Homo-oligomer: A and B are copies of this chain.
Amino acid sequence: MNIPPSAPALLEALRAAVGPAHVLTEGDLTAYELDWRRRYRGKALAVVRPGSTDEVAAVVRACAAHRTSIVPQGGNTGLVGGSVPDASGRQVVLSLQRLHRVRSIDPANLTMTVEAGCVLQAAQEAAAQQGLLLPLSLAAEGSCTIGGNLATNAGGTQVLRYGNARELCLGLEVVTASGDIWSGLAGLRKDNTGYDLRHLFIGSEGTLGIITAATLKLYPQPAARLTALAALPSLAAAVDLLQLTQARLGAGLTGFEVMNAFSLELVAKHFPQIPRPLPPAAWTVLLEQSDTESTEHARSLFEATLEAALEQGLIEDAAIAESIEQSRQLWHLRESIPLAQAEEGLNIKHDISVPVSRIPAFVAETDAEIARRFPGARLVDFGHLGDGNLHYNVQAPEGADPAAFLREHEHEINAVVYDAVVRHGGSISAEHGIGALKRDELEARKSPVALGLMRAIKQALDPEGLLNPGRVLRV
């Protein structure tokens, strides 16, 4: 391993900054060095665990003085290899996990201020204890952190109503590349005093600054939440159903997930114990309604809306959950798709978005091209239709070796999918970010003007290239 000559002096400075117990250099550091999908394994010079914002700033200054680059890390649950060190053994992993306090909740302002290392679920629970809702929700919520959610602009299942992590953030505290602290934790819904630094740091994946705390929007808890499942003849019908339900339920529509037939076949195959209230259909939609009045009100609205959809021929059948337990089961069905895929074997994942109106054409064209070029390949299409976001995944043909299929065809299949995405005015990373995984795809497909602006900003805010180098942009 290639240890830089200044390592001992840097480690000394880091120990002085955070205390020797919080500078890890030995033992099993896999939890910090290996990403969640096990595709990126690096080697850190040290894992540093500061306990305060001042300590984060001191760590950054020490690293800057020794020209050592920093990989900020929250829950390390990202899907694009953005939070683990490279293999050089020269990078410092800066873990935010000890900054996990909920600093304050202001019910009258509907805000909470939490530190970056606070686990999303802990933040949700702290809000719920005050009768309030932090409406960011995603599969990793039990271990992902608020800092990581903001650094990657996390999405999830309630974006349709409440927006991405970005839309839920009113203020930030950030340590800059020079080790200064920007204290921008305002709980203001209106503030037009200069450039929006907040939105620049959000989604920058730790390459422009290190988020140490955030002020988040909260909402009153809805009085009721109700879930329904609908069977549809086509994806075009799903787009029409979305329009219909948006008009009738307004902001009450908090979830609208689509699943193709094969997604649910896979769930039935690998998890036969999960109840399936509707017979197989070309497409199945899960709808969630949140209501400020009552379960009865939500139910009668749902019934009238689905009745209208039935009359218009948009849906073939529908079932409204009769209980909270049934609602949970419907979500469980939806959330079991990625797990069923994993049981079926390795697959090629895409997290894409196109305008909602283009989804049917995108899927029809891309399905056809994949069928033509990779006979037998099986498509697991599901996702957040309300946001135009599909997890458009490709599974090897029945009986084929998934690993071999992936090795041979991943690059080509990515090209088919991403070319179609660009043709339909979409994004090659809707909610997962760029990290290391999609950096070269981004450089190949993003407009040179946008890339030039991004590079100018990176150069302006991190001129030495110390913050998460090689992620999002090439060094």
Contact = CB atoms under 8 A, between A and B. Distances in A.
Contacts of A434: 192-194
Contacts of A193: 427-429, 434, 438, 442, 446
Contact of A251 (B194, B250, B454): B250
A90 interface: no
25 contacts: A106-B357, A108-B240, A108-B356, A109-B356, A152-B192, A155-B192, A159-B190, A164-B189, A166-B196, A167-B167, A180-B449, A186-B425, A186-B427, A187-B425, A188-B388, A188-B430, A192-B429, A193-B434, A194-B473, A195-B200, A195-B472, A219-B250, A222-B250, A457-B460, A457-B461
A292 B252 contact: yes
Which of A166, A181, A251, A446 has its CB near the most chain B CB atoms (within 10 A)? A251
Nearest to A220: B247
Interface string A428-440: 1111111000100
A195 B220 contact: no
Given A204-B195, A292-B250, A459-B460, A388 B153 contact: no
Contacts of A166: 196
A203 B197 contact: no
Question: How many chain copies?
Answer: 2
Interface string A163-179: 11011000000001000
A199 interface: yes
Contacts of A431: 190, 192
Given A108-B243, A196-B200, 6 more contacts: A184-B447, A188-B427, A195-B200, A195-B454, A220-B250, A251-B252
Nearest to A166: B196
A469 interface: no
B447 A183 contact: yes
A246 interface: yes
Nearest to A106: B357
A404 B301 CA distance: 61
A194 B239 contact: no
